[in-house]
Amino acid sequence: MNENLGLLIFLLLCCVVPGGMLLLFALLGPRNPNRVKETPFECGLEPLSQPEGLLPVHFYLVGMLFILFDVELVWLFPWARVLREQGTLAFVEMLFFLGFVLAGFGYAWKKGALEWEK
């Protein structure tokens, strides 16, 4: 109870500090926008293009692989917490599970999903 209360107070403080920074910045800074200041950065030129949402596919692959392995990770935490009580059976069960995940990892590796340079 106490600990959760402490956490709540701390999280509130963590929101107050950046909020205060933004507020102070908004109050103290001057404000005279012009066309040049509102142009997105481009090495001193007029911007050649606007971001369109098209990005190298590698980023999406990394995202998908991350989800695969993060789900595995979420399974491993409770298992790691109780392995000593559960003993060898839990270890063997996790070997099976990890075996499947690692097979997927090996497949992704072999297919070249982890290669950044083609």
Partner 1 sequence: MEPMILDMLLKAGLGLIILGMVLNIAGLLTWVERKQSALMQDRIGANRAAIFGFTALGLLHGIADAVKMFTKEDCMPKGAHRFIFNLAPAISVAFAMAAFAAIPFGNTLTLFSRTINLQVAELDAALLFVLAAMSIAVYGVILAGFSSNSNYAVLGGMRAASQMLSYEMSMGLSILGLVLLNDTMNLQEMVRAQGGTWLGFIPRWGVFTQPLAFLVFTTAVLAETKRAPFDLPEGESEIIGYFVEYSGMKFGMFLLTDFIETVLAACLVSVFFFGGWQIPGLHATGFHFPWGTTIPLPPLAVSLLGVAAMMTKVVFFNWLFMALRWTLPRFRYDQLMHLGWKILLPASIANVLVTAAWVAWRG
Tell me the closest approach of the beta carbon of residue 69 to partner 1, in angstroms.
5
* Shortest spacing between CB 44 and partner 1, in angstroms: 13
Give the residue with the Cβ less far from partner 1, 107 or 109. Answer: 109
Binding site for partner 1 (CB under 8 A): 2-7, 9-11, 13-15, 17-19, 21-22, 24-26, 28-33, 37-42, 47, 49-51, 55, 58-59, 62-63, 65-66, 69-70, 73, 76-77, 80-85, 87-88, 90-91, 94-95, 98, 102, 105, 109, 114-117
**Residue 91 C-beta: closest distance to partner 1, Å:** 4
Under 8 Å CB-to-CB from 108, ≥6 apart: which residues?
65, 114
> Which of 58, 38, 55, 56 lies closest to 47 in space, CA to CA?
38
State how far the Cα of 64 lies from the Cα of 71, in Å rounded to an integer: 11
User: Which CB atom, from 40 or from 44, has the smaller least distance to partner 1?
Assistant: 40
d(CA 73, CA 67): 10
C-beta closer to partner 1: residue 11 or 107: 11
Look at residue 112 and give its three-state secondary structure.
Answer: coil
> Token digits for 62?
């990394």
31 with 37: CB under 8 angstroms? no
Phi, psi (deg, nearest 5) at residue 78: -60, -35
Q: Least distance from C-beta 86 to partner 1, angstroms?
A: 9
